[in-house]
Structure 1
Amino acid sequence: MGRASHQDSRRDSRRRRALLSALLTAAMVVPLSGAARRPDIPAPPPATLAPLVPATLRTTYEANRANAAQAARMAAAHGDGHRAAADRALAGPSCHLLSFDGRGTGLATEVLGDLLRAEHVAVLVPGSDTSIDTYARFHRAAAALYEDLTRRAPTGSRVAVVAWLGYATPGTVSTTVTTVARADDAAPHLRAFIGELRTLTPARTRVSLLCHSYGSVVCGRAAVGPDVDDIALIGSPGTGAGTVAGLHTSARVWAARGSGDWVAHVPHVRADLLFATVGFGTDPVSRAFGARVFDAGDAGHSGYFTPGSPSLANLARITLGEPSEVTRA
């Protein structure tokens, strides 16, 4: 190869890397979010809580609702009606919060169902630009799954869903959304939460992690052990691992992508750029990754929890420990 050809090759390589970075940033944009990330909204510090055990669960719920109500009042006084309304919804008497932090973009962990008696628990891990401001959309996904699970569960079997907004999700248009940095920060918190969850649920309870979009990167970095029975990666740009074995988990690993999901166009590679590694590696629905690929129908990127959809039905079957009933892609 001549010198000119070598220079052309290097220029092409640089262009490909720049294009990869741009594509990953654009591809992770969630069209329905558009949430402003406003760290200046005043809110109280999180409630001071006793260690989370069955005996303290009720007082934990009460303390976090009170904290959310105080956050709503402070946001309203600040002139932010949208945040105040979001906080008030989380302060409602029927809302069960294992945690709440109204500061900045906000964190919350909500329970639907009775954790102390549930035999099947699904933990939802959200993707980019999920915050208190956009929490209503995340809650709707959790509520749709809870309703479907309740309908499908065998008579006498109890289920619960946990909506875990336990990390500061990356912005949809940001450098962090194309790297594992934010997921690496979140992973220890997810591992710790799964451990806490096991102290609240019966010993034989099945726990499934349902990880959407960038949330699948968080789940991939968490390296959860025997405390989780199933992991489902939906609308995933990749996990940062090359194969299921790279997740270092004993759980069954599932993956799905709807035919209407634009995340299919994300380049499934990793590239070392100037200051960071960009991209998340192997496509989770590819044969090379090794997950159990299930049918998600024509779901778009935000449509995996649509009532009546194949994806929601299969996520419920996975949570209920019915692998033979899951329809494959």
Structure 2
Amino acid sequence: MINANVPRLRRTLLAASIAAAVAMPVTGAISPAAVPAPVPATAAPLRAATPAALAARYAASRDDILAAERTAADHGDRWRARMLRDMADPARRFLSFDGRDGGRAAEVFGDLATAERIAVLVPGGDTHLDKYGLLRGGALRLHQALGGRSAVIAWLGYRTPNTVSLAALTAGRADEGAAALRPFVRDLAALKSAARVSLVCRSYGSVVCGRAAPGLDVAGIVLIGSPGVTADDVSALRTRATVWAGRGGRDWIAHVPHVQLRLPFATLGFGTDPISPRFGTRVFAAGDGGHSDYLNAGSLSLRNVARIVSGQDPVEAGSRA
């Protein structure tokens, strides 16, 4: 009798979370997508990861950022304009930039020309230009943890859902993201065929990676703070990559019902918990942090993500390895 009530309880919890998503407003003076930006200049495909080719691409992206900065200033959005001026710093390196619809960007940390280990960081919900600093900070710390001959790409390549929204409970935005992530990774693998490329996918970003996984040419897929990836187990991802999963001890995502509820208008939820034994990932110790703490400086989770990206086994809690 108790076992029979478990699915019902999970569905009740999921229904409650859906009601909260619909009822709770997302506050903010202005939607990030409402700030206008010009169409970016058409950039020629990147044919080689040489210093000269990369410098030309970074310069072209910088021009797109400055054009968006001027448009934001003309629109009277001083916050966005100031942030874009910072992004246009010549010391920063963007493979691409588009300021429209909340923003798309791919920023490189490290020297992509010489990198032997590359991590593509795929963010979760509520990530857009006005909150880009959170994604950038995590990418910076991961690159520092990786050390020399490595690069991290902060990939804001899709329209992320608001954390408190119905969109965050469905795979629609993840499918949009997967459609952009696949060609990005394919082109990156072609440019850096000798490098070890891994995806580091946080929160809703793990849903994006799960939808993009089939046939993707990467060494590893690292899921952190994942609500599920819309697959029953690792074999359903149809990938040759090693799939890892970690969850912090204080991450609220553990309390999200790991089910999928098919309704007439949508399928809600993301299925099996990626850290459960029946899913089949390689589970690594992620410390006792919360949902936004996985790439915090000095954390066990950051240390283990860096080790996995480098091709090393993660360490257990308390280890000095």
TM-score with structure 2 setting the length: 0.89
Q: Which residue of 1 aligns with 2:262?
A: 272
Q: Secondary structure at the match of 1:92?
A: coil
The answer to whether residue 54 in structure 2 is matched with residue 60 in structure 1 is: no
Partner residue in 2 for 1:145? 142
Q: Which residue of 1 aligns with 2:81?
A: 84
Deviation at 1:304, TM superposition (A): 0.3
Match in the other structure for 1:47: 41
Say yes or no: does 1:119 pair with 2:116.
yes
Asked if 1:189 corresponds to 2:180, the answer is yes
- Aligned equivalents of 2:92 and 2:156: distance in 1? 15
Aligned counterparts of 1:16 and 1:253: Cα–Cα separation in 2: 26
Residue of structure 2 equivalent to 1:308: 298
Tell me which moved more, 63-72 or 230-239: 63-72
Change (3 A) 1:300 1:35: farther
Q: What aligned pairs does 1:233-252 form with structure 2 within 5 A after superposition? A: 233-252=223-242
Q: Kindly indicate whether the alpha-carbon contact (under 8 Å) linking 1:297 and 1:311 is maintained by their aligned counterparts in 2.
A: yes
Q: Would the alpha carbon gap of residues 25 and 133 (structure 1) be closer, same or farther in structure 2, given more than 3 Å must change?
A: farther
Identity %: 53
- Higher relative CO (Cα under 8 Å, sequence separation at least 6) belongs to 1
1:175 positional shift:
1.3
Q: Give the CA deviation at 1:50.
A: 0.9
CA distance in 1, matches of 2:236, 2:266: 20
Q: Are residue 22 (structure 1) and residue 16 (structure 2) matched? A: yes
Moved more, 128-137 or 75-84: 75-84
Secondary structure of residue in 1 paired with 2:210:
helix
Which deviates more from structure 2 when the two are superposed, residues 219-228 or residues 171-180? 219-228
* TM-score normalised by structure 1 residue count: 0.87
- Asked if residue 211 in structure 1 is aligned to residue 201 in structure 2, the reply is yes
Describe how 1:312-327 pairs up with structure 2 within 5 A: 312-323=302-313, 325-327=314-316
Cα deviation for residue 173 of structure 1 reads 2.0
Letter in 1 for 2:146: L
The equivalent of 1:164 in structure 2 is 155
Partner secondary structure for residue 263 of structure 1: helix
CA deviation after TM superposition for structure 1 residue 58, in Å: 1.7
- Number of matched residues? 307
> Match of 1:127, SS?
coil
Distance in 1, matches of 2:54 and 2:158, equals 21
Q: Which amino acid aligns with 2:118?
A: V
Distance 1:238-1:19 versus aligned 2 partners, 3 A rule: same
Unpaired segments ≥5 residues, structure 2: 22-26
Structure 1 residue 121 displacement after superposition: 0.4
- Measured in 1, the distance between the counterparts of 2:116 and 2:162 equals 35
5 Å-filtered alignment, 1:96-111, equals 96-111=93-108
Correspondent of 1:288 among 253, 273, 278: 278
| Letter of the 1:77 counterpart | D
Partner of 2:24: none
Conserved? CA contact 1:268–1:282, under 8 Å: yes
CA separation of 1:217 and 1:83: change in aligned 2, threshold 3 A = same
Residues 146 and 34 (structure 1), Cα distance of their counterparts in 2 relative to 1, 3 Å cut: farther
Q: Does residue 37 in structure 1 map to residue 26 in structure 2? A: no
Aligned equivalents of 1:302 and 1:35: distance in 2? Answer: 23
Give distance in 2, aligned partners of 1:184 and 1:287: 26
CA-based RMSD: 2.4
Q: 1:182 to 1:35 in 2, by over 3 A?
A: farther
Of 132, 137, 140, the match for 1:135: 132
Deviations 1:158-203 (A, max 9, x none): 00000000000011222111011111111121110001112322x3
SS of the equivalent of 1:134 reads helix
